[in-house]
Amino acid sequence: MEIRKPNDNELEQIMLLSPQALFDGTLGEVKPTNEKIKQLIKPLLKKGCYYLIAIEDEKLLGWVLIGATKDQFTDKTVGFIYELFVREEFRGKGFSKQLMKSAINHLKLEGYSEIRLSAFVNNHAINLYEKMGFNTRNVTMSLKL
């Protein structure tokens, strides 16, 4: 397995699979259209965020989208992991962990002293994040009306 930045064809494949990635990541609460994905992702890519993909035998296994964000209270710039996704048929083989390690390494090499991410509360990936040293920093709560 290789982890690297995607080429244009692979980036197009990511965009087509991203609605499923967001659906899975939000535990079925959000089912975005391809147009909504473009509205969310294109500004991130324009500001310098980028994907790292896991690929094996020319098959896209999954990806991580990384970049920077500013702390809303301090304006400190921190590394941010915007998305982690492994296609269902390749899950349970450690690819998420390898993508996370690569993302952390890239952001560390870019000089960030802190990396953040967000996840829905019952997302199974939280276990991986905690094993990798991430701690709960804040909690967003919701009241459905």
Reported as half-sphere exposure (CB side, CA atoms, 13 A), residue 31 has a value of 1
Q: Answer whether residue 136 is part of any domain.
A: no
Helices 34-46, 8-25: axis angle to 10 degrees equals 120
For residue 84, the enclosing domain spans 2-131
Q: Answer whether residue 145 is part of any domain.
A: no
Using DSSP, state whether 126 is helix, strand or coil.
helix
CATH number at residue 124: 3.40.630.30
Q: Answer whether residue 70 is part of any domain.
A: yes
Using DSSP, state whether 35 is helix, strand or coil.
helix
Q: Answer whether residue 144 is part of any domain.
A: no
The count of domains in the chain is 1
Model's pTM, two decimal places? 0.93
- Per-residue pLDDT 10s for the chain (145 aa) are 999 999 999 999 999 999 999 989 888 888 889 999 999 999 999 999 999 999 999 999 999 999 999 998 999 999 999 999 999 999 999 999 999 999 999 999 999 999 999 998 889 899 999 999 999 998 888 898 9
> What is the distance between the alpha carbons of residues 144 and 2, in angstroms, rounded to a whole number?
43
Q: Answer whether residue 142 is part of any domain.
A: no
Q: Answer whether residue 80 is part of any domain.
A: yes
